[in-house]
Amino acid sequence: MARAATTTDAFNAVAEPRRREILEVLARGERSVGDLVGELELAQPQVSKHLKVLHEVGLVAVREDGRRRLYRLNGRGLKPIHDWVARFEQHWEDRFGVLDAVLEELQEEP
C-alpha cells in the first residue's frame, strides 16, 4: 500500500504547506482562484488542484460568480485536528516535556 491519499482527511490535506497557505489566505476572506494565484506565488493550475483537494475534504466551500469561482474557508473542517492535538496539550504545558527534550539531546550526542 502507498501513502494515504491527500483527500483522505483533513490531516492529510493539511500536510501540504501550500494548502495551509491557501487556508490562511481564505481565513482573511473569500477569494477567487485568480486572487489566490496573485497572493501566493503559485501557478493557476496548482492552485485549482489544491483547492480541489481542500474542497473534497470539506475545508473550503465554493460559490459561483460568473466566470469566477469564489472560495471560502470552512473552519469546521479543522476541528478534528484541533481536537486530536488538544488531547496532548498537557504534555507540553508542564516542564517534563522540556526535561525530556534536554535528556534526549544529551543522550544523542555522537
Partner DNA sequence: CCATCGTATTCCCATATGGGAATACGTCAA
Partner DNA sequence: TTGACGTATTCCCATATGGGAATACGATGG
79 in contact with a copy of itself (CB under 8 A): yes
Taking residue 66's Cβ as centre, other Cβ atoms within 10 Å add up to 7
Burial of 25 (0-12, 13-18, 19+ CB in 10 A): middle
Which of 29, 45, 80, 97 lies at the binding interface for DNA (CB under 7 A)?
45
Query: Which cell numbers hold the place of 36?
Result: 489566490
**Contact, 42 vs 18, CB < 8 A?**
yes
Task: Count the site residues for DNA by CB under 7 A.
Answer: 32
In angstroms, give the least distance from the CB of 76 to DNA.
21
**What's the closest the beta carbon of residue 35 comes to DNA, in angstroms?**
7
Residue 81 as a binder of a copy of itself (CB under 8 A): the answer is yes
Closest CA to 81 of 107, 108, 58: 58
Note the residues at the interface with a copy of itself (CB under 8 A): 3-4, 6, 11-12, 14-17, 20, 23-24, 27, 58, 61-63, 72-76, 78-79, 81-82, 84-92, 97-98, 100-101, 103-104, 107
